[in-house]
Amino acid sequence: MQDTVDVKPTKEIALETECIRYTDSGWSKTIASVPIERELTIYINLKEFVTILCTPLKLNFLVIGFLYSEGIITGMADITMMRVCDAESEVDVRLTRDDYELPKRKRLTSGCGGGPSFITYGQRVESDFELTPKEIMALTRQLQEHMDLYQTSGGVHASALADRNKLLIMAEDIGRHNTVDKIQGECIFKGISTRDCVLLSTGRISSEMLLKAARMGVPIIVSRHSPTGTAVRLADELGIALVGRVRGNRLSVYSHPERLGFRDN
């Protein structure tokens, strides 16, 4: 790729605002931090493609991951140039193919802000990767400890890609789908394989999240919330262990529990 920009944010990602707080001592005025929400419009070969609501952090990775998860690119070799411009409100992406046609149809997802999606299928994940419940609980605690933006302002989701022992890549955003795209994009950019890893998220696992995980080749996806019914069905079909309601020393496994060592004798 010939032209890129710094992946660090050039704008603030949290804003201080006045609020009225209630505690056991009564009411008081205070200053609170809230996360910044911005519109990011992606142009492909000078044609408007889609507008995403996001946190202005790791925008390069967000765009790369989104284009990959939607099947528009297969890797960095498909991009000749990408530039974030106009106070981070637009991204200009040039593909190696001049004859690229934008998708004719898109569907609205259940993501924060009604996220757009153009892909409705996933490929079955083939992997022998397994984790124990205790390993998953330990990784979940690591994720909570590294949620810097959440600790500052709240109101955001976090996701992380991890191996058996530690977090490899982490991302925070107002949209839980965006966090997965940021992780995918950073892995593509840095040449990090997402296969035989676990994807952890603070948000509810929906069908779109599950399809993104399948696209990454991730055999285990974990959340502290319950998944949707469609996500459970897809996880079962795609060979993904779907783990939810991870709280303290408890968790629930909705599909492929053998990836967590469960054997129904």
pLDDT tens, 214-245? 999 999 999 999 899 989 999 999 999 999 99
Is-contact 173 54, C-beta < 8 A?
yes
Token representation of residue 46: 């000078």
Sequence ranges of the domains in the chain: 133-260
Percent of the chain with pLDDT over 90: 55
Instruction: Report, as residue numbers or ranges, the catalytic residues.
Output: 112
Q: According to the per-residue pLDDT averaged within each range, which of 1-10, 53-62, 98-107 is highest?
A: 53-62
Q: Please state which CATH class domain 133-260 belongs to.
A: alpha beta
Q: Is the pLDDT of residue 11 over 60?
A: no
Confidence of residue 169 (pLDDT cuts 50, 70, 90): very high
Amino acid at 21: R
Percent of the chain with pLDDT over 70: 87
Mean pLDDT, range 239-258, rounded to an integer: 93
What pTM was computed for the model? 0.86
Mean pLDDT, range 101-119, rounded to an integer: 53
Alpha helices (runs of H) in 23-103, residue ranges in sequence order: 59-69
Amino acid at 219: P
Q: How far is CA 122 from CA 209, 218, 241, in A?
A: 11, 12, 15
Distance CA 222, CA 201 (A): 6
Q: How far is CA 242 from CA 156, 214, 220, 245, 259, in A?
A: 22, 11, 6, 10, 10
Q: Is the pLDDT of residue 101 over 80?
A: no
Distance CA 151, CA 181 (A): 22
Q: What b-and-e string marks burial along 87-116, b requiring 16 or more CB atoms within 10 Å of the CB? A: ebebbbbbbeeeeeeeeeeeeebbbbbebb
Mean pLDDT, range 127-156, rounded to an integer: 91
Mean pLDDT, range 6-30, rounded to an integer: 73
Q: What value does the mean pLDDT of the chain take?
A: 86
